[in-house]
Structure 1
Amino acid sequence: MALYGTFVNGGLIIVGSLLGLLFTKIPERYKETVMHGIGLAVILIGLQMAFSTKVIIVVLLSLLLGAIVGELLRVEERLNDLGHWIGSKFTVAEDSGSISQGFVTASLIFVVGAMAIIGALDSGIRGDHEVLITKGILDGFVALVLTTTLGFGVVLSVIPVVLYQGSIALLATQIENWIPDTFLNGLIVELTAVGGILIVAIGLNMLKIVQIRIGNLLPSILTVVLVYYIYQLF
């Protein structure tokens, strides 16, 4: 079953988030310090991914093109609107802005990453769910910690995670018929690097060092495919 790993990943995020709700009443200074720790760890993870690139110009052009597309489409604004809309449907002791922040932040952390892509591809191509199950364990722990500081919105991130990874896994069942292995392997490396840069941006936002409109950089995940294809032609 191609979606088994995705469902396990989603289930562990839900479990971690629900457990995190039990610890939301801890003192604010503890939450702040924990968030700083998470932010630093997120930056480290992002840097490790970003340094995997073999062709830095592909990463740069993908980010530039993705930023232009994102600003034109106002992706960040639409993501926040979605988070507010979802938040308004739940009667909890938090405002919709807080729920939106938790939803968007957690979604980006769980979706943008090498394990999400590679794990979903493994599930679809080889029926091997080990990577996604491992990712699910990590995501569940991160969800627990994030929920203590960002609240209920974190659990809602399971929706884009399941849709994103599930779509990749289903497409992967046919991907070998469309894309040569050599191209696919190289693309995953550069896709991982672009994702790493976005994760670094998430960490910087969590530390409140700068406020980057990460949502408007998300199209880079798609533009890297076009840029890498053109690079391969030359």
Structure 2
Amino acid sequence: MLNISVIVNTVAVIIGSILGLLGGRLLKDRYRKVFFSVIGILTMGLGIEMFLDTNSVLVVLGSLIIGGALGEALDIEEKIGRLAGNKRDDENFVKGFITASVLFVAGPMTVIGSLKAGLSGENELIFIKSLMDGISSMMLSAALGEGVLLSAAAVYLVQGGLVSLAGVLSFLQDPLYLGDFSGVGGMMLLALGIRLLEIKEIRVGNFLPALILSPVLTWVSLLFT
């Protein structure tokens, strides 16, 4: 958990988020709406790109259905919203946290970079990701607020966990597992984009368990091939 690349990535998100929050206060509402639209469109584009790496559509479907059902039962998004404290800001807080968390941890770069750092001490990929996440967090927090800052905790816990358990989780580098994981993350990003553009209100936070279920269902699917 104290790996230097994980710490750098976490700090990059924190610094980017703080700069974005400071800059966001200077934005007029009409410009903030433009930011919302741009982020929504970009999120949808990234989601489609990630989904194209899917190995098994059935695994992605199963992960989202089962994970979504678990999330609804646990009411994950409602619990995240309570962290905002100020009810007026709940919606943006949740959108910011979930959008940033999924964007920062639900991609193959997170998995491969963290496992490489844990197995061989190669930190370069996470350092590159840190720069990307720092810039992204600045843009996201300017539009979505303080929830993006909290996503630094998700980055630290997820990547730190992957680094610490790299020896056990090395199989996740297999393209089959990475593809399905990326596909699930891609569908969640697409749903986030739809939500940010106010096309339909989708409680994407309740689908977070799908990211954990994805490698499990990929493993199960390989037993029958």
Matched residue, 2:37? 36
- Report how far residue 95 of structure 1 moved: 5.3
* Mapped partners of 2:147, 2:80: distance in 1: 13
Deviation readout 1:39-67 (Å, 9 max, x if unpaired): 11111111111011122111111211112
Amino acid at match of 2:17: S
Residue of structure 2 in register with 1:159 after alignment: 153
Q: TM-score, normalising length from structure 1? A: 0.86
Quick check: 1:187 aligned with 2:177?
A: yes
**Pair 1:162–1:221, CA change in 2 (3 A):** same
The letter for the 2-side match of 1:78 is: K
Deviations 1:126-175 (A, max 9, x none): 21112211111111111111222222332222111101110111100443
* Structure 2: segments with no counterpart, 5+ residues: none
| Structure 1 unpaired stretches of 5+ | 89-93
One-letter identity of the residue aligned with 2:68: A
Correspondence list, 1:89-128, <5 A:
96-97=89-90, 98-128=92-122
| Residues 72-91 of structure 1 aligned to structure 2 (within 5 Å) | 72-81=73-82, 83-84=83-84, 87=85
For 2:172 and 2:127, how far apart are their aligned partners in 1? 27
Q: Given the superposition, is the C-alpha separation of residues 218 and 5 from structure 1 closer, same or farther in structure 2, using an over 3 Å criterion?
A: same
1:209 counterpart = 2:210: no
Give aligned pairs, total. 222
Q: Which residue of 2 aligns with 1:6?
A: 6
Cα shift readout 1:14-71 (whole Å, capped 9, x = no counterpart): 1211221332221111111122111111111111110111221111112111122222
TM-score normalised according to structure 2 size: 0.89
Question: Cα RMSD between the aligned structures?
Answer: 2.2
CA contact (8 A) 1:70 1:217 kept: yes
Q: Percent identity?
A: 34
In structure 1, give the amino acid aligned to 2:21. L
CA contact (8 A) 2:106 2:181 kept: no
Please give the per-residue CA displacement for 1:87-141, whole angstroms capped at 9, x wherever unaligned.
56xxxxx955254443333223222222222221121122111221111111111
C-alpha distance 111-135 of structure 1, shift in aligned 2 (>3 A): same
Residue 26, structure 1, aligned to residue 20, structure 2:
no
User: 2:72 & 2:179 partners in 1: Cα distance?
Assistant: 25
